[in-house]
Amino acid sequence: MSKRVLTKIKFNEMITMNELVDLRMQQHIAHELYRQQIMQRIPDPFPPMLPIPMPRHVIMPPRVTLPGVEVTLQNDDLWKQFHQIGTEMIITKSGRRMFPSMRLSLSGLEEDTNYCILLEMVPIGDCRYKFSGSQWIPAGGAEPQSPQRMYLHPDSPATGSHWQAQPILFNKVKLTNNTLDSSGHIVLASMHKYQPRIHVIRTADLAQIPWAPQQGFVFPETEFVAVTAYQVRTYY
């Protein structure tokens, strides 16, 4: 095989590997949106996929970002109070609403352009935790994670002027440990840590969400441990 042909093959392999993770993430998001039945009878072209492990607080860069778009956590003071002692979120079989919930404001959007807002719960680390000696410590390997860890804001899609005119509330999000949930709740594993992540996606077509220009935002003070009963009693 000539040197020229060998170089071409290696170059093609490099492109494939660079695009592979992005493609799997796109398919994973698309499958989750279809699974929540927000596509209104459009058949799911993607087979079920396992969640992709994500490093702590690292945002997977999409192909096209949204420069100038900013998201502000309006109730960050409340989140920071809980974060100081270790935020816990109750999960139940029937679903429990988040407390604190996320209250956001957006800026930098094009007023007449449509956007979708998506909330994702990203697992932190690769271990399970237990509460011991007034603190959370690792306690073995992580359990398999459900792919149902996303919630599309019910106003989506809406224009930039709509999103920027009022606070964006995620107070109707419910968390559950029921892996067979069919109500659109976010499925989490008890005694595992999660980091909420907000996706701002520029599209009016829900089917194009995995490929549309988008930007992810993380607020470190919103990380929490999913529990079935509160372990820290200071504020709860």
Q: How confident is the model at residue 147 (pLDDT cuts 50, 70, 90)?
A: confident
Which position has the higher pLDDT, 176 or 147? 176
State which fold the 63-227 domain adopts.
Answer: Immunoglobulin-like (2.60.40)
pLDDT of residue 25: 58
Q: pLDDT tens, 15-65?
A: 444 444 455 555 556 555 545 543 333 333 333 333 444 444 444 444 589
Task: Give percent of the chain with pLDDT exceeding 70.
Answer: 72
User: What pLDDT sits at residue 218?
Assistant: 96
| Nearest one of 69, 75, 71 to 102, comparing CA atoms | 75
| Nearest-angstrom CA–CA distance, 164 and 223 | 25
CA distances from 212 to 22, 67, 87, 192, 230 (A): 13, 14, 33, 31, 39
| Position 68, amino acid | G
On whether the CB atoms of residues 194 and 124 are closer than 8 A, the answer is yes
Reference 49, options 145, 161, 141; nearest CA is 145
pLDDT tens-digit map of 60-114: 444 589 999 999 999 999 999 999 999 999 999 999 999 999 999 999 999 999 9
Whether pTM exceeds 0.85: no
Give the per-residue pLDDT at 29.
60
User: DSSP alpha helices (H): ranges in the chain?
Assistant: 3-35, 76-85, 160-165
Any residues with CB less than 8 A from the CB of 45 and at least 6 apart, and which?
none
> What is the radius of gyration, based on Cα positions, of the chain?
19
Domain range list for the chain = 63-227
Cα separation, 195 vs 224, whole angstroms: 7
Using 50, 70 and 90 to split pLDDT, how confident is the model at 134? confident
Query: Are the CB atoms for 128 and 191 separated by under 8 Å?
Result: yes
Per residue in 82-118, is it b (16+ CB within 10 Å) or e — as a string? bbeebbbbbbeeebbebebebbbebeebeeeebbbbb
152-179 in b/e burial notation, b at 16+ Cβ within 10 A? Answer: bbeebbbbbebbeeeebebeebbbbbbe
